[in-house]
Amino acid sequence: MRKREIWKGSEVIAEAAIRAGCRCFFGYPITPQNEIPEYMSLKMPQAGGVFVQAESELAAINMVYGAAASGMRAMTSSSSPGISLKQEGISYLVGAQLPAVIVNVMRGGPGLGSIQPSQGDYYQATRGGGNGDYRTLTLAPATLQEAADLMGEAFDIADTYRNPVMVLVDGLIGQMMEPIVWEDRPGRTLPTKVWAAQGRRGRDHNNFVTSLYMDPADCEQHNLALAEKYAAMEANECRWEELMTDDARLILVSFGTPARVAETAMRNLRQEGLKVGLLRPITLWPFPGRRLGELAGEDHVKGFLDVEMNLGQMLDDVKLAVNGSKPVQFYGRCGGAIPHVAEVQEAARRALEEVE
Amino acid sequence: MTVIYEKTRGLQNTPLHYCPGCGHGIVHKLIGESLDELGLLDTAVGICPVGCAVFAGSYFSCDCIEAAHGRAPAVATGVKRTHPDQCVFTYQGDGDLASIGTAEIVHAAMRGEKFTTIFINNAIYGMTGGQMAPTTLVGQKATTAPDGRDPATAGWPIRMAEMLSTLEGLVYAHRVCVVDIPHLNEAKKAIKRAFQLQMAGAGFTFVEVLSPCPTNWGMEPLEANRWLMEHMAAYYPLGVIKDMGGEPG
Ligand SMILES: Cc1ncc(C[n+]2csc(CCOP(=O)(O)OP(=O)(O)O)c2C)c(N)n1
Ligand code: SF4
Ligand SMILES: [Mg+2]
């Protein structure tokens, strides 16, 4: 049997990145994710990699851009206000078709907000966030084991599609401790980075990594080529977990920390004989909307309750998926507050009463 | 037949888009020649700015990366730290380096990043059509300073080479210009020395080039060169500002 070890969330993310072959980290301190750069400053050099504490998040993401453009597995992490500053660089990474992994350990906002866990950056992560017409594949682990497993996937997906991948967790997952097992990951067969600017070294042409297309016809073609990648990600990379949806009358939809709360609420309600299920998106973009739409079409499903740590952002995606065919209710806490099991149970009972 | 002069292998055969009398094309040529003569073309990575030189990666025959406005020093840090044996340089205008990217250049110099920055100071925002730059001279007209730069509201022009030279991490700062052959030769010597010191691992190296922008200065090319020597060189003194490099091995 593999060894179970107790780890802290942020350190799991950092260690999993090193195990996934990431050999450079660029970051700037911000609570609640300081353990990531701290861990990296110690362990990255030991792994033969590079750690730089940047002067700002703007600089950090542009260091990632440079390292990625020269063919490296590169990563940065931050929390909400810092991720806002990184949006410039994320847009350029997409435009220049560069793989990289960006971790956001979300805290309360807007502005400085609070340093407590939040999911207030769902829109920013799933709608692009920076300028331009683009998508960032977003992974949202709900346990430390899942975080450990998904980091390697994040780098592989980024390399497969030459697109940045965001790992979106709330501050609770960054700060909590939990037992995990380090599994060997098979890894994907990845394309070689023939486009990388790392010196010609005998190549008969120069590589020029850029996001600039001055001719609108070229820029349109570029955007259409990006759109094909997004379509491929939607077809191949969408992930979710379903619990007890087979006979559920009410389906809870939730990701990250509140999904754990919702799962407990669901199990308690099941003990009372109430048929409640849970759909937990693991990729927030692409969103498992097609599956939700299928569930909405089932006769036994009478409604949905979306549970988030914000004012209702994923709610838009749930409503789009359900498309008016069944009622969608919402329960959320925000600004750094975490929903209690009893609150979610209460909201679920109310939702059930309304739909029955 | 003897070859007396030929186009450097350091540049591709793409026609340059720069205006007649512009300094950018001349500095491109000096960089291309320097990389070639030092045997660095095959391993160099150039980081291009946002500004008139945004297409530089289509001109240099080495690998290039286009950075966001002002972020070239951060991009160069990402490349050089992960590829320490390679020659890495940024090529940046004055809006790029001395305004939006001030934090990035100061901190790259502070850390003593082992790359070279070629700084094209033309005292104007060229690409966007002649707005005031942080380097615009007092009294110099710009589209956002229609009566000339007024220190009361716009402050005084910034001397980047001197400012950065206060940092320990910077080992070489040299201000040159490209108005005539003797100055061109001096500029090329400076660029080569910067690359040599970089490859010797000495620290951060910086070459500031006073460069004419006849289009946005509203002058004929020769008049622009005269204006540069008379006014710009008076405020931004030419010469070596700092050299801690010694013999680059
Ligand atoms: C974030 C951002 N802000 C503004 C611009 C618009 N812009 C493009 S070039 C430029 C100024 C360039 O001036 P300089 O760096 O002096 O270069 P030059 O054209 O004079 O060589 C500006 C403001 C931009 N592309 N990106
Ligand atoms: S606008 Fe000025 S800096 Fe730009 S190409 Fe023309 S002369 Fe050169
Ligand atoms: Mg300029």
Share of chain B above pLDDT 70, in %: 100
Fold of B28-243: Rossmann fold (3.40.50)
The pLDDT of residue B249 is above 60: no
- Using a CB-CB cut-off of 8 Å, the residues of chain B touching A201 are 42-43
Residue closest to A64 by CA, chosen among A28, A26, A37: A26
Residue with tokens 């709608």: A127
The per-residue pLDDT for B247 is 81
- Range B110-139 average pLDDT: 98
The answer to whether the beta carbons of residues B115 and B80 sit under 8 Å apart is yes
How far does residue B203's CA lie from ligand 1's centre (Å)? Answer: 27
- Using a CB-CB cut-off of 8 Å, the residues of chain A touching B100 are none
Q: Chain A residues within 8 A (CB-CB) of chain B?
A: 23-24, 26, 50, 52, 54-56, 58-60, 62-70, 72, 74, 88-89, 92, 96, 197-202, 206-212
Q: How far is CA A229 from CA A66, A134, A161, A197, B114, in A?
A: 22, 10, 6, 22, 37
Measured by CA distance, the residue closest to atom 12 of ligand 1 is B51
- Range A119-129 average pLDDT: 96
Residue closest to A51 by CA, chosen among A38, A69, A61, A65: A38
- Please write the tens of the pLDDT for every residue from A31-73: 999 999 999 999 999 999 999 999 999 999 999 999 999 999 9
**Closest-lying ligand 2 atom to the alpha carbon of residue B20:** 7
Average pLDDT over chain A reads: 97
Size of interface A-B (CB pairs under 8 A): 140
- Please write the tens of the pLDDT for every residue from A249-271: 999 999 999 999 999 999 999 99
What residues pair up with A199 in beta bridges, in sequence order?
none
Count of helix runs (H) and strand runs (E) in chain B = 10, 7
DSSP symbol at A117: B
Distance from the Cα of A79 to chain B's closest Cα (Å) equals 20
The pLDDT of residue A206 is above 60: yes
**Closest-lying ligand 2 atom to the alpha carbon of residue B23:** 8
Return the best residue to mutate from B17, B18, B211 for the ligand 2 pocket (most ligand atoms within 8 A of CB). B18
The answer to whether the beta carbons of residues A251 and A301 sit under 8 Å apart is yes
- Range B206-230 average pLDDT: 98
- Range A333-340 average pLDDT: 96
Three-state SS annotation for A231-266: HHHHHHCCCEEEECCCCCCEEEECCHHHHHHHHHHH
Distance from the Cα of A175 to chain B's closest Cα (Å) equals 28
Instruction: In whole angstroms, give the CA distance from residue A29 to residue A45.
Output: 18
Contacts of A323 (CB under 8 A, 6+ apart): A293, A296
DSSP class per residue in B193-231: HHHHHHHTT--EEEEEEE---HHHHT--HHHHHHHIIII
Instruction: In whole angstroms, give the CA distance from residue A81 to residue B64.
Output: 31
Q: Counting Cβ atoms within 10 Å, is residue A299 exposed (0-12), middle (13-18) or buried (19+)?
A: exposed
Angle at the Cα of B201 from the Cα atoms of B195 and B202, rounded to 5 degrees: 85
The per-residue pLDDT for A72 is 98
- Using a CB-CB cut-off of 8 Å, the residues of chain B touching A55 are 103-104, 106-107
**Closest-lying ligand 1 atom to the alpha carbon of residue B135:** 16
- Please write the tens of the pLDDT for every residue from A72-101: 999 999 999 999 999 999 999 999 999 999
Q: What's the complex ipTM?
A: 0.97
DSSP symbol at B131: B
Query: B163 is written with which tokens?
Result: 């400012």
Share of chain A above pLDDT 70, in %: 100
Could you tell me if the CB of B132 is within 6 A of ligand 1?
no
- Global pTM value: 0.97
The per-residue pLDDT for A1 is 64
The pLDDT of residue B125 is above 80: yes
Radius of gyration of chain A (CA): 21
Could you tell me if the CB of B16 is within 6 A of ligand 2?
no
- Range A273-300 average pLDDT: 98
Q: Do A24 and B81 touch (CB under 8 A)?
A: yes
Query: A264 is written with which tokens?
Result: 């407990």
Q: B31 — contact with chain A (CB < 8 Å)?
A: no
Q: Do B65 and A208 touch (CB under 8 A)?
A: yes
The per-residue pLDDT for B1 is 80
From A70, which residue of chain B is nearest by alpha-carbon distance? Answer: B79
What residues pair up with A33 in beta bridges, in sequence order?
none
The answer to whether the beta carbons of residues B49 and A33 sit under 8 Å apart is no
Q: Do B81 and A50 touch (CB under 8 A)?
A: yes
- Domains, chain A, in order of start with CATH, read 4-236 (3.40.50.970), 240-355 (3.40.50.920)
The pLDDT of residue B248 is above 90: no
Query: B188 is written with which tokens?
Result: 């090329």
How far does residue B145's CA lie from ligand 3's centre (Å)? Answer: 15
- Range B198-222 average pLDDT: 98
**Closest-lying ligand 2 atom to the alpha carbon of residue B19:** 6
Which backbone phi and psi does A158 adopt, to 5 degrees?
A: -60, -45
Residues in chain A: 356
- Using a CB-CB cut-off of 8 Å, the residues of chain B touching A92 are 67-68
- Using a CB-CB cut-off of 8 Å, the residues of chain A touching B68 are 62, 65, 88-89, 92
Q: Is the dihedral of CA A303, A309, A315, A318 positive or negative?
A: negative
The pLDDT of residue A310 is above 60: yes
Q: Is B14 helix (H, G, I), strand (E, B) or coil?
A: coil
The full set of domain ranges for chain B reads 28-243
The per-residue pLDDT for A149 is 97
Residue closest to B172 by CA, chosen among B203, B129, B143: B203
Angle at the Cα of A239 from the Cα atoms of A229 and A316, rounded to 5 degrees: 85
